[in-house]
Amino acid sequence: MSIIDDYLQEKGFLPRISFKKSPVHTVTIISKERRTIKDPNTPGEEVDGIAIKVEEEGEEREIFTSSVSLLQQLADVKDGETVTIKMIKRKTDKGYRTSYEVTEPEIAKVKDEKIPTIEDEE
């Protein structure tokens, strides 16, 4: 852990998940909270959104978003549930459009499927 990570942790800031570095994240939802932050792109402006505390690979992290697409998909996900969030970028005639896809992770899907056995084939 770097000195910056130590400082941020001491101040109560969680590392943020970046969909730019990796477009797919499998996370367990811990909690959701409405929050306002300073807009990093527009000095003096604020952004209203939802801070979603998650656990990813054993580490508590945070997703901050005001994306209606992502929030609608996460609305029915309860605290403690695990989901995979995938960012999808598409080129349109007006530039790039970003959307999100929220699904159960593959491991959870395999549990519910019936795995064929030798007896099933007879």
pLDDT at 87: 94
Tell me whether residue 19 is in a domain.
Answer: yes
Residue 10 lies in a domain: no
Q: What is the CATH number of the domain that holds 53?
A: 2.40.50
Cβ atoms within 10 A of the Cβ of 51, count?
17
For 8-56, how does the pLDDT look when each residue is reduced to its tens digit (9 = 90+)?
777 777 888 888 888 999 999 999 999 998 887 888 899 899 999 999 9
Give the angle subtended at the CA of 80 by the CAs of 30 and 18, to the nearest 5°.
45
pLDDT tens figures, 88-97: 999 989 888 8
Domains identified in the chain, total number:
1
pLDDT at 5 over 80: no
Q: Answer whether 61's CB lies under 8 Å from 15's CB.
A: yes
Query: Is there a domain that residue 3 lies in?
Result: no
> What percentage of residues in the chain have a pLDDT greater than 90?
49
Please indicate, yes or no, if residue 1 is contained in any of the structural domains: no
Q: Is residue 82 part of a domain?
A: yes
- pLDDT on residue 108: 46
Contact 102, 72 (CB under 8 A): no
Burial class of residue 63 in the structure, from the number of CB atoms within 10 Å of its CB (0-12 exposed, 13-18 middle, 19+ buried) = buried
Query: For residue 15, which of 48, 46, 57 has the smallest C-alpha distance?
Result: 57
* 87 in any annotated domain: yes
Q: Over the range 72-99, which residues count as b (16 or more CB within 10 Å of their CB) and which as e?
A: ebbeebeeeebbbbebeeeeeeeeeeee
Q: Which domain holds residue 76?
A: 15-114
- Find residue 36's DSSP bridge partners: 48
Assess if residue 2 is contained within a domain.
no
The answer to the question of residue 88 being in a domain is yes
